[in-house]
């Protein structure tokens, strides 16, 4: 379970109809809004007249994409970006995304949020033909399959549909070719992906909060199995797998997503509050107060309070600074990092508040 939790990511893409905006800057702001989905590494791939350049590194968006780095990224028609969760090992820079490759038909960049379930099977098939893998990510695998299918068909769209029939599991993908920006959501819609706009720019993001932060508008979620293609300043959407049963990962609602996002029509905050209301109905307790553990428990506590009538209160403060690196190797590691992050409030009042 927790292994699974570690495999979350955030993706963001933008296509400019008028070429007026600095898409790399906009992508950085969008990725910052998705930073909670992955703090380990981040990257941006920018398409300038069909040539895809990229920059990716370990660290937060604000650390990796300094003004100096952003200014080096040329003005682009399309940009995709990615934030990635923490892993272990001597050097996992190799797994930073987007993955940018060259193949027979040109350049290709892929940003992926999800986990395939038939990875091993697909990898073996490719390995038997002599494939080499330079990363341990599913993204490289998806890339290889897309490219192989692309050689058998006449369009990138067809290649992606054929790929979707081969790969199984959870995936939301942003695929950028020389001329197209393509967004895809897996047939069961395990992972979120939505579409928005900002002036004349079309945007895609894992969570709608990215559009809010940029001052843009949320248009809609992609449907499970849907593919949206932006090219020649037009947007074409088609669902190749319309009948699959929807299976959005419940952890998005419970834990991962930002409360200000809307996923598949449901406000995350509202969902969490409702879980609290539901819990109050199912399991009423006699208590003086209801309080939540920050951050994701706050909304549910408020819902429990509203439903049960037990007063809502605040009990814990969460430190936003503690928990970084230096404590990791110290003698104080044995003290739970949880205790370093959460501290209970005190209602002590010695003497008299002059104000009241």
Residue 195 CB, nearest approach to its own copies (Å): 15
Residue 331 CB, nearest approach to its own copies (Å): 6
Site for its own copies in 254-313 (CB under 8 A): 258-260, 262, 264-267, 269-271, 274-275, 277-278, 298-299, 302, 306, 311-313
Specify burial of residue 128 (Cβ count, 10 A radius: 0-12, 13-18, 19+).
Answer: exposed
Query: Contact with its own copies (CB under 8 A): which of 59, 119, 136, 235?
Result: 136
Locate 257 and state its tokens.
């997503």
Does residue number 334 form part of the binding site for its own copies (CB under 8 A)?
no
The residues, any chain, with a CB within 8 Å of residue 220's CB and separated by 6 or more, are 194, 195
Q: Provide the strand spans (E) within 140-246.
A: 169-177, 181-185, 194-198, 201-205, 217-221, 226-231, 234-239
Could you give the count of Cα atoms lying within 13 Å of 342 in the half-sphere of its Cβ? 12
Q: Which residue number, 169 or 294, has a Cβ lying nearer to its own copies?
A: 294
Does residue number 82 form part of the binding site for its own copies (CB under 8 A)?
no
Site for its own copies in 188-217 (CB under 8 A): 209, 212-213, 215
Of the candidates 93, 84, 112, 236, which has an alpha carbon nearest to the alpha carbon of residue 169? Answer: 112
Could you give the count of Cα atoms lying within 13 Å of 116 in the half-sphere of its Cβ? 23
x/- contact string, 153-192, with its own copies (CB under 8 A)?
----------------------------------------
Of the candidates 224, 190, 58, which has an alpha carbon nearest to the alpha carbon of residue 116? Answer: 190
Query: Contact with its own copies (CB under 8 A): which of 1, 243, 329, 338?
Result: 329
Q: Do residues 107 and 100 lie in contact, with contact meaning Cβ atoms separated by under 8 Å?
A: yes
Cα-Cα-Cα-Cα torsion 101, 103, 106, 111, nearest 10 degrees, comes to -30
Residues tagged active-site: 9
Task: Name the one range near its own copies by CB under 8 A: 180-188, 194-202, 227-235, 347-355.
Answer: 347-355
Does residue number 338 form part of the binding site for its own copies (CB under 8 A)?
no
The residues, any chain, with a CB within 8 Å of residue 242's CB and separated by 6 or more, are 223, 225
C-alpha distances in Å from residue 94, one per residue of 5, 34, 63, 73, 115: 20, 21, 18, 21, 17
Count the Cβ atoms, other than its own, within 10 Å of residue 327.
Answer: 14
Task: State the sign of the Cα–Cα–Cα–Cα dihedral 99, 210, 113, 173.
Answer: negative
Q: Rounded to whole angstroms, how far apart are CA atoms 164 and 241? A: 9
Site for its own copies in 54-73 (CB under 8 A): 54-56, 60-62, 65-68, 70, 72-73
Q: Which residue number, 165 or 236, has a Cβ lying nearer to its own copies?
A: 165
Site for its own copies in 102-131 (CB under 8 A): 102-104, 108, 124, 127-131
Does residue number 84 form part of the binding site for its own copies (CB under 8 A)?
no
Does residue number 244 form part of the binding site for its own copies (CB under 8 A)?
no
Does residue number 7 form part of the binding site for its own copies (CB under 8 A)?
no
Q: Which residue number, 117 or 153, has a Cβ lying nearer to its own copies?
A: 153
Q: Which residue number, 115 or 274, has a Cβ lying nearer to its own copies?
A: 274
* Residues contacting its own copies: total by CB under 8 A: 106
Locate 190 and state its tokens.
């395990």
Q: Rounded to whole angstroms, how far apart are CA atoms 36 and 88? A: 18
Residue 1 CB, nearest approach to its own copies (Å): 19
Does residue number 134 form part of the binding site for its own copies (CB under 8 A)?
yes
Query: Contact with its own copies (CB under 8 A): which of 113, 137, 148, 163?
Result: 148
Q: Rounded to whole angstroms, how far apart are CA atoms 55 and 97? A: 9
Residue 266 CB, nearest approach to its own copies (Å): 6
Q: Which residue number, 224 or 236, has a Cβ lying nearer to its own copies?
A: 224
Q: Which residue number, 101 or 293, has a Cβ lying nearer to its own copies?
A: 101
CA angle 170, 263, 182 (to 5 degrees): 55
Task: Name the one range near its own copies by CB under 8 A: 2-10, 23-31, 113-121, 171-179.
Answer: 23-31
Q: Which residue number, 139 or 231, has a Cβ lying nearer to its own copies?
A: 139
């Amino acid at each position: 379970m927790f292994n699974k939790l570690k495999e979350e990511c955030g993706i963001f893409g933008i296509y400019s109809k008028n070429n007026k905006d600095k898409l790399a800057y906009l992508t950085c702001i969008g990725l910052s809004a998705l930073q909670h989905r992955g703090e380990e590494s981040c990257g941006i791939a920018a398409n300038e007249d069909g040539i895809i350049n990229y920059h990716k590194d370990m660290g937060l968006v604000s650390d990796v994409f300094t003004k100096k780095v952003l200014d080096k990224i040329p003005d682009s028609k399309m940009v995709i970006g990615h934030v990635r969760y923490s892993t272990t090992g001597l050097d996992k820079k190799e797994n930073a995304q987007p993955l940018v490759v060259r193949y027979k038909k040109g350049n290709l960049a892929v940003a992926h949020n999800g986990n395939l379930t038939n990875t091993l099977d697909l990898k073996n098939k490719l390995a038997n033909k002599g494939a080499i893998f330079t990363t341990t990510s599913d993204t490289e695998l998806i890339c290889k399959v897309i490219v192989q299918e692309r050689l058998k068909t006449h369009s990138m769209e067809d290649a992606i549909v054929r790929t979707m029939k081969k790969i199984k599991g959870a995936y939301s993908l942003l695929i950028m070719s020389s001329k197209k920006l393509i967004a895809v959501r897996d047939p069961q819609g395990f992972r979120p992906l939505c579409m928005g706009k900002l002036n004349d720019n079309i945007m895609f993001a894992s969570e709608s909060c990215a559009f809010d932060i940029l001052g843009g508008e949320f248009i809609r979620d992609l449907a499970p199995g849907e593919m949206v293609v932006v090219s020649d300043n037009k947007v074409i959407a088609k669902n190749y797998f319309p009948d699959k049963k929807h299976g959005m990962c419940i952890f998005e609602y419970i834990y991962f997503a930002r409360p200000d996002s809307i996923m598949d029509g449901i406000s995350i905050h509202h969902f969490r509050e409702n879980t609290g209301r539901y819990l109050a109905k199912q399991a009423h307790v006699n208590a003086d107060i209801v309080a939540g553990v920050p951050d994701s428990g706050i909304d549910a506590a408020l819902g429990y309070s509203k439903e049960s009538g037990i007063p809502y209160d605040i009990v814990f403060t969460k430190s936003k600074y503690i928990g970084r690196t230096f404590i990791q190797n110290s003698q104080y590691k044995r003290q739970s990092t949880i205790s370093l992050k959460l501290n209970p409030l005190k209602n002590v009042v010695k003497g008299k508040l002059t104000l009241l």
